[in-house]
Amino acid sequence: MKLNGLVTSICIFVAIGAARAGADQVQPAAPFVLGYANQVSVAAGEEISFHVSASGDAFDMRVERVGAERTKVLEKSQIACATHPIPDRASSHGCNWPAALTITVPPDWASGYYEATLTLNDGEKPARSSLFFIVRSAEAGKNTKILLELGTNTYNAYTNWGGHSLYGYHDRDGIQGHRVSFDRPLNSLFSKWELPFVKWAEQNGYTLDYASNCDLEFHPEILKQYNLVLSVGHDEYWSSPMRDHLEQYITDGGNVAFLTGNTCCWQVRSEDNGRALTCWKQSFNSDPLYRTSDHKLLSTAWSHHLIGRPENELTGLGFLWGGYHRSHGQFMDGSGAFRVHRPEHWLFEGTDLKREDQFGGEHSIVGYECDGCEIEWADGLPFATHRDGTPESFTILATCPARWAPGDCFWYDRFPTDRVGNAVFGTYTRGGTVVSAGTTDWAHGLAGNDPNVVRITRNILDRLSAP
């Protein structure tokens, strides 16, 4: 009771502080040019608009597809623009700037991640910024049976432009927001998390179709056209419809590979037709749904007992029994490698790895944030207990120690001490097959051309994308 009262008091203070901070929004120093797209993803043949505010009266724009190479697809000069105000609640409710340019996506634009570079030649030094959008296939599954969904909700959650993000530690005034809008300039995390995988895959002959987190919620019909859905890097924020649709896809025989960590950690609720996210996170008792009898959509950790739907039920793993490795002060001298337990599994075919061998340490494939499951050991081998929601068919193939940072226990409201667990690499089958890497940094091994990480990844893509 004392803890809940303290959290409520803190949230009231945060809400007051957020309202005050909103009034302090000021224009950046000139010259500047900033913008955002009105859709996170768009299919060929559909329209997309670019909303821009600048200190001058015209800007140039270059659009490129970013993959193994950067390919220019559009260039326009002297697009009319103006300076528009930054609203008090820009971070939570968007900028509401008018469209400076609207285009119809041509049919020859391949599915992928696209970056538009905005340039304002006003003064001695040009001002530049960028915005992103995703082009999904207009004919899902026609050119490939592999779909890569990008963690765009995570990009939004970490962006504090216009006020606040869903984090307090990197906000300018230390205030944690609980709602973030896509209608503002965003900090894309694509180059940090997904791009190393994309470069490797496209350079090695794999064709990918692309989608956003929003597409799993609002365009779930595309899923049935693919044999394999991929999530790479840091795919942290999931809505209930996203989970519903992907879990049904798995039940119906679809395969998923989570080459990720801290995956599906927080439940969000989409608002404004998918243009905003709400997540109260640790302050779950300030979520208006907390006062109701139905907590299944409570915007806090998926593993929270009030939701009763741990992410393990989807991925096989969760942050509850994972934590950090070589980050946040935890296992800072760790190996960054997985230790092999069941080398006979098909995922290790062609690697020559043996039991107790380690792999991936040279490139620290186990790092930053990690997911695991509750483990019991017998005859030197790890077995999932399944008490945490991990499916009965889940097989643990490799592990690496991971640990919560001090204070993480307050995410869950039931565990009085910080947790020590493992990053876990494993798999289960329930209709389709699901593989989980249990680490945000798996793609580091692909970027470094680690032979074992490369072979395991090829095994995943080749087997699970096949008919």
The parent domain of residue 51 ranges over 33-136
Residues 132, 221 share a domain: no
Query: Which residues are 38's β-sheet partners?
Result: none
Residues 271, 388 share a domain: yes
Cα→Cα distances 466→144, 226, 462, 463, Å: 10, 10, 6, 6
Residues 200, 62 share a domain: no
Residue 22 belongs to some domain of the structure: no
Residues 154, 259 share a domain: yes
Q: If pLDDT is split at 50, 70 and 90, which confidence band does 174 have?
A: confident
In sequence order, what are the residues at sequence separation of 6 or more whose Cβ sits closer than 8 angstroms to the Cβ of residue 297? 240, 267, 269, 289
- Model confidence pLDDT, tens digit, residues 12-46: 333 333 333 344 467 899 999 999 999 999 999 99
Q: Per residue, what are the HEC states of the chain? A: CHHHHHHHHHHHHHHHHHHHHHCCCCCCCCCCEEEEECCCEEECCCEEEEEEEECCCEEEEEEEEECCCEEEEEEEEEEECCCCCCCCCHHHHCCCCCEEEEEECCCCCCCEEEEEEEEECCCCCCEEEEEEEEEECCCCCCCCCEEEEECHHHHHHHCCCCCCCCCCCCCCCCCCCCEEECCCCCCCCHHHHCHHHHHHHHHCCCCCEEEEHHHHHHCHHHHHHCCEEEEEECCCEEEHHHHHHHHHHHHCCCEEEEEECCCCCEEEEEECCCCEEECCCCCHHHCHHHHCCCCCCCCCECCCCCCCCCCHHHHCCEEEEEEEECECCECCCCCCCEEECCCCCHHHCCCCCCCCCEECHHHCCCCEEEEECCEEEECCEEEECCCCCCCCCCEEEEEEEEECCCCHHHHCCCCCCCCEEEEEEEEEEECEEEEECCECCCHHHHHCCCHHHHHHHHHHHHHHCCC
Cβ–Cβ < 8 Å for 358, 338 = yes
Residues 171, 127 share a domain: no
User: How far, rounded to the nearest angstrom, does the alpha carbon of residue 80 sit from its chain's CA centroid?
Assistant: 34
Average confidence (pLDDT) over 358-362: 98
In sequence order, what are the residues at sequence separation of 6 or more whose Cβ sits closer than 8 angstroms to the Cβ of residue 228? 145, 146, 147, 254, 255, 256, 257, 460, 461, 464, 465
Residues 256, 345 share a domain: yes
Residue 50 belongs to some domain of the structure: yes
pLDDT, residue 171, reads: 65
Residue 9 belongs to some domain of the structure: no
- Model confidence pLDDT, tens digit, residues 192-229: 999 999 999 999 999 999 999 999 999 999 999 999 99
Residues 355, 409 share a domain: yes
Tokens of 349: 């075919």
pLDDT, residue 410, reads: 75
pLDDT, residue 301, reads: 96
Average confidence (pLDDT) over 367-380: 97
In sequence order, what are the residues at sequence separation of 6 or more whose Cβ sits closer than 8 angstroms to the Cβ of residue 214? 40, 41, 152, 153, 270, 274
The neighbour count for residue 335, using CB atoms within 10 Å, is 17
- 117-139 in b/e form (b: 16+ CB < 10 A) is bbbbbbeeeebebbbbbbbbbee
C-alpha span between 191 and 375 (Å, rounded): 34
Residues 213, 132 share a domain: no
Domain containing residue 107: CATH number: 2.60.40.1930
| pLDDT > 80? residue 77 | yes
Q: If pLDDT is split at 50, 70 and 90, which confidence band does 170 have?
A: low
Cβ–Cβ < 8 Å for 261, 371 = yes
**Is the Cα dihedral 38, 219, 280, 232 positive or negative?**
negative
Mean pLDDT of the chain: 93
pLDDT, residue 26, reads: 78
Residue 352 belongs to some domain of the structure: yes
Residues 91, 41 share a domain: yes
- 186-218 in b/e form (b: 16+ CB < 10 A) is bebbbeebbbbbbbbbeeeebebbbbbbbbbbb
pLDDT, residue 10, reads: 36
| pLDDT > 70? residue 9 | no
In one-letter notation, the amino acid at residue 172 is R
Q: Which of 79, 107, 136 is the last residue of a domain?
A: 136
Domain containing residue 333: CATH number: 3.40.50.880
C-alpha span between 337 and 223 (Å, rounded): 33
Q: If pLDDT is split at 50, 70 and 90, which confidence band does 417 have?
A: low
Tally the domains of the chain. Answer: 2
Residues 385, 404 share a domain: yes
Rg (the chain; Cα; Å): 22
Tokens of 49: 């608009």
- Model confidence pLDDT, tens digit, residues 262-297: 999 999 999 999 999 999 999 999 999 999 999 999
Q: Which residue has the tokens 């469209």?
A: 99
pLDDT, residue 5, reads: 38
Q: Is the peptide bond before 87 cis (omega within 30 degrees of 0)?
A: no
Residue 125 belongs to some domain of the structure: yes
Residue 17 belongs to some domain of the structure: no
The least confident of 118-127, 351-360, 437-446 is: 118-127
Q: If pLDDT is split at 50, 70 and 90, which confidence band does 416 have?
A: low
Residues 132, 150 share a domain: no
C-alpha span between 155 and 161 (Å, rounded): 12
Residues 123, 77 share a domain: yes
Q: Which of 136, 167, 185 is the last residue of a domain?
A: 136
Burial (CB count <10 Å: 0-12, 13-18, 19+), residue 112 = buried
- Model confidence pLDDT, tens digit, residues 318-334: 999 999 999 999 999 99
**Is the Cα dihedral 361, 365, 371, 375 positive or negative?**
negative
Residue 335 belongs to some domain of the structure: yes
Q: Which of 136, 169, 201 is the last residue of a domain?
A: 136
Residue 391 belongs to some domain of the structure: yes
